[in-house]
Structure 1
Amino acid sequence: MVVKDLQPFTIVEDMGFRAFVNKLDPSYVLPSRKALKTMVTEKYNSTKEKTMRDLQKAEFVSLTADMWSSINIDGYIGVTCHYITPEAKMATVVLGVRRFYQTHTAQHLMEAKTLLMSEWGITSKVQCMVTDNASNMILSAQLLNLRHIPCFAHNLNLIVKKALDQTALINEIRQKARKIVGLFRSSCKAKDKLVEMQGLIGRPTLKLIQEVETRWNSTFDMLQHLYEQREPVAAAISSLNSDTALLTSSEYDIIQESLSLLQPFKLATTELSEEQRVSASKLIPLYRMLQHKLVEKKGLAKQDSAVQLGSHLQGLQSRCGGYESFRALALATLLDPRFKIVAFGNPAKGQEAEKHLTLECASLMRSNPPTHEPQWSASGPSSSSTTAAGSQDCLWELFDNRVRESHTTHSATADATVEVKKYLTDAFLPRMEDPLKYWKERAVIFPKLYILAKKYLCMPATSVPSFTLGVAEERDTALSRWIAATLEQTHKVAATAKPVRKMAATTTPCLVIAVSHEPSQVTVNGKEPNQATVDLKEPSDIKVKDCAADCANPSISPNGKTCYSCDEKSCSNILSCSGSEDRCFKATESFGGQSMVLKGCVSKSICDATTSVGDVQGVSCCEGNLCNDAKSVTQSFLFLCCSLLSFILLH
């Protein structure tokens, strides 16, 4: 549970867990927290040793690498390794997530990666490295003499984001859409009205999604949800008498055609990011299918803005059009029995890939000749080969060696040609089947091609495995330390806050806190009066709630007080306080070289003990509704207008 479910070591001290284990087996004695930590460390060491043994068995490996900064501006580097096991299964292992103290130059990156490869004993086995298009990442691969493959998901993100930014009218629609979504995400009344209208119209109760500037797929999700919920959204805004501008029917037509153009890119990104099997061999056929779908859907577009977007998306060709000339990707595609030579859009590139595959197969045959192959002997009368052996051997040695080498080369090339032709004429594997299973079953029929398949099919198409390490590893949240220190000062008890995925803070009251910021979230959920758990999750709204006695009553109702809270877009969201929460909270935290604002609801007891810890500074509490002012001029003006309107209507 500690490893798989990321539970804290203190779970063995929890009364509920101890009672649960005792109920299962009264004779079992739970280990202490210290003993459990030792057990986990031993398990890690044994698992690492086993993984290293598995890597030693692997003939070829590929790496993915990525870098990121924590909220404390600490640099980290993550490297993952991908290989094919002797059982013909794709395997992935995290080589390391390390603090990166040096400047992010190619030389320093090369040194860090070299250290990891040496530690795991795979230096001579690495075939390629997949990273984003950062120049330091590309140069570090070159310094390591490794083949560099650009992350396909990163390329798609750049292509689509640039195309959206270049289409003026779609940009205007995105701005209007963000304001509409912001209204329903910042107002409880608006959100409730939307739910009501969804029920009346018979639409599913779905939340609208706000766009994240750096991720084009969030733009797709925002527009898609808004289009699907256009009727209840329009009805809700109309009934609210809001001044938020509605999208027109022609704008919805543009959204519909734009979504149709972007749908193939969305599917491609999702498919490759979730791929658990062979993926690099998909790049060439996937690029061709994207091209085909883009031309097809652009031809069906009637709105000028959608046609412009389709033209801008043709940037796909400039970024990915050279895939067929990339030898490693071409050979990976050719060695995938689902695609072979049919996947190539240019037949000449397919034939070139077949030629390279034959040459590499022949080279492998020459370096590893079959043991049963008969040795060549010079022709001629037997008497000649035995007469004056010493002088004859010296005289004809050079000639005999050249003839022997010519014969061996001819045989290897001929045998390689036969093996490659036989494979290419073999039946295609269904697209949804596992190509590694195909090669495992035909290892005896195509022995040399099987070795090359393990070499080229272990390459991933994206660096997503390394990128996702940044979400779960080495995240030191400054706000969690402020929470722990505040509770310790209030209740005079020890509270821990460490940079781990889950941790415990023992307190007398229970506290419910949800804090959103990039790149991680802290939540403290009071499940029992004496235990709080700090849990790092994905970003969502910032909500700070001190529940004390309220935790015993999960159905506690709002107390009428409201405070501002923050999400990734603004600090003008309205949060309804409940129970003993009679204060609004505001603090600032240093993140990414900028000050990040944190807001929410708290009780007087927490405010009386506020303190500054680490990067969280300027902690302040105030009384009154919405007293922890919003930073968004637009939203503040909206609330002011609502207040004036209410005053006019009531007086």
Structure 2
Amino acid sequence: MIQRVLEQEKALSQVLKADRKTKHLVLTWQDTDVLESISRTLGPLLEFTDALSGEDYVSVSYIKPVLHLFNNTVLAAADDDTELTKDMKTVILKYLNKKYSEPKTVDLLDIASLVDPRFKDAYIADDRQEFIKTRAVAEILSLLEVQAATFSEPLPHTSTEAAADGPDGAEAAEVAVEWQSKKVKRSLGSFFKKASSDGTAALADREAIEVELKSYLQTMQVDGETDPLDWWWLYQANFPRVARLAHKYLCIPATSAPSERAFSFGGNIVTCHRSLLKPETVDKLVFLANNL
């Protein structure tokens, strides 16, 4: 809006001067200086806001690099800045740095940039790099344990009566009996063997994760225009454990804009003339409107 006013300043002045009732609304040079200072400060932020509000690409890993860029380049005080421009830049930087200074948020943003092959540890503070790498290893190990626990859950039907209820009940019952018999045949020594091997396996997994993470961080830096999801699609076989962490973090949106768009779609669908729509119907319509 301010840019548009500055672009049309001469035309606006001529129109306002032509009428006595609006002559007092003509911009003075002080007004113009204020608008130019505001435009100079907020103008560069427009493209960053649009980029971080997207939902068709990875955005959360951009936050730390963008904050670094704001602090060192975009919002850094310049020699030709007016006092108002400098004050606005200072206030904006103070707000942004405070907004993203909460410890849990900082950890999340650091790991998100770590698993982005475009940035890795380039924007993580030197005194936090080892902590973030250790945390990443622990999270990967936790993800692997959850996966192992999921695949090691017992069969849902362990009794012959429950297995015999389906169309293939006889065959299912045989499988259940065989599985139960195998379970009963376990010896007491197997429990001690498993207990001793679990610690060794966990240690081996941690070492393997650390080696894989180190190898990933040593790979060649990719171009800033590269889609990290495409990169991980190509190289997830080389770094399967780190890829799990990337899947967990890179899907997070950087702003609330995507959810606000979904609410807007919902508001356009559920109107006063369509207030009796069932919730499941609304869910389907919002999904279609948001994805078609």
Equivalence for 1:258: 38
1:238-296 deviations in Å (ceiling 9; x for gaps): 23443332222233233222222212332221112234111112222222222223542
> Which residue of structure 1 lines up, in the alignment, with residue 218 of structure 2?
425
Partner residue of 2:25? 245
Partner of 1:334: 114
TM (norm. structure 2) is: 0.69
CA distance in 2, matches of 1:447, 1:472: 37
C-alpha spacing 1:235/1:367, structure 2 compared with 1 (3 Å):
closer
Contact 1:338–1:430 (Cα < 8 Å) also in 2: yes
In structure 2, what is the Cα distance between the partners aligned to 1:471 and 1:406? 51
1:455-506 deviations in Å (ceiling 9; x for gaps): 111111122222123434345777xxxxxxxxxxxxxxxxxxx349xxxxxx
Question: 1:348 matched to which residue of 2?
Answer: 127
Secondary structure class of the residue paired with 1:341? coil
Give 1:360's aligned residue: 139
Cα distance change on mapping 1:471 and 1:320 into 2, 3 Å: same
Please name the residue that 2:167 is paired with. Answer: none
Structure 2: which 5+ runs fail to align?
149-186, 276-292
CA distance, structure 2, for counterparts of residue 280 and residue 445 of structure 1: 24
For 2:6, give the aligned amino acid.
Y
* 1:173-199 per-position Cα deviation (integer Å, ceiling 9, x unaligned): xxxxxxxxxxxxxxxxxxxxxxxxxxx
Amino acid at match of 1:260: R
TM-fit CA distance, 1:301 = 5.0
Alpha-carbon distance in structure 2 between the residues aligned to 1:305 and 1:397: 72
**Residue equivalent to 1:407:** 200
Give the conservation status (yes or no) of the 8 Å contact 2:236–2:243: yes
State the AA in 2 paired with 1:300.
D
Answering whether residue 61 of structure 2 is matched by residue 281 of structure 1, we say: yes
CA contact (8 A) 1:301 1:307 kept: no
Q: Match of 1:414, as an amino acid?
A: E
- Could you tell me whether the CA contact under 8 Å between 1:258 and 1:306 is conserved in 2? yes
**TM alignment of 1:33-182, pairs within 5 A:** none
Offset from partner CA, 1:519-541 (integer Å, 9 cap, x none): xxxxxxxxxxxxxxxxxxxxxxx
Equivalence map 1:529-544=2 (5 Å) = none
The equivalences for 1:152-551 within 5 A come to 222-241=1-20, 242-296=22-76, 298-300=77-79, 302-313=81-92, 314-322=94-102, 326-344=106-124, 346-365=125-144, 403-475=196-268, 498-499=273-274
Structure 2 CA distance for aligned equivalents of residues 292 and 322 of structure 1: 21
Q: Distance in 1 between matches of 2:267 and 2:146?
A: 46
Give 1:404 shift: 2.9
How far apart, CA to CA, are the structure 2 residues paired with 1:302 and 1:452? 43
Shift of the 328–425 alpha-carbon distance from structure 1 to 2, 3 Å rule, reads same
8 Å contact from structure 1 (residues 366, 409) kept in 2: no
8 Å contact kept, 2:64–2:109:
yes
Label 1:262 to 1:340 Cα distance change in 2 as closer, same or farther (>3 A): same
- Separation in 2, partners of 1:227, 1:254: 11
Secondary structure of 1:299's counterpart equals: coil
Read off the aligned partner of 1:412 and give its amino acid letter.
D
How far 1:425 moved relative to its partner?
Answer: 0.8
360 and 233 in structure 1: CA distance in 2 versus 1, 3 angstrom threshold = same
Determine the structure 1 residue equivalent to 2:180: none
Checking the alignment, whether the CA contact within 8 Å between 1:363 and 1:412 is kept in structure 2 is no
Match of 1:138 in 2: none
Aligned length: 234
Indicate the structure whose relative CO is greater, using CA pairs within 8 Å and at least 6 residues apart.
Answer: 2
Secondary structure (helix, strand or coil) at the match of 1:445 reads coil
Equivalent position amino acid for 2:208 in 1:
D
Provide the alpha-carbon RMSD of the alignment: 3.0
Question: Structure 1 residues 477, 358: CA separation in 2 closer, same or farther (over 3 Å shift)?
Answer: closer
- C-alpha distance 275-244 of structure 1, shift in aligned 2 (>3 A): farther
Amino acid at match of 1:423: Y
- Once the two structures are TM-superposed, the CA of residue 439 in structure 1 deviates from its matched residue by 0.6
CA contact (8 A) 1:284 1:324 kept: no
Paired with 1:404 and 1:228, the residues of 2 have a C-alpha distance of: 73
The code of the aligned residue for 1:223 comes to I
Contact 2:54 2:258 in 1 (8 A): no
Rate the CA distance shift 1:338–1:293 in 2: closer, same or farther, 3 A: same
Q: Larger strand proportion, structure 1 or 2?
A: 1
Q: What secondary structure, in the 3-state scheme, does the structure 2 residue paired with 1:340 have?
A: coil
How many percent identity over aligned positions?
23
Q: 1:474 to 1:267 in 2, by over 3 A?
A: closer
Alpha-carbon offset, residue 397 of structure 1? 7.7
Distance change >3 Å, CA 358–CA 410, structure 1 → 2: same
Letter matched to residue 450 of structure 1 = A
How big is the shift at 1:349?
Answer: 2.5
Gaps of 5+ in 1: 1-221, 370-392, 479-497, 501-651
Distance 1:407 1:470, change over 3 A: closer
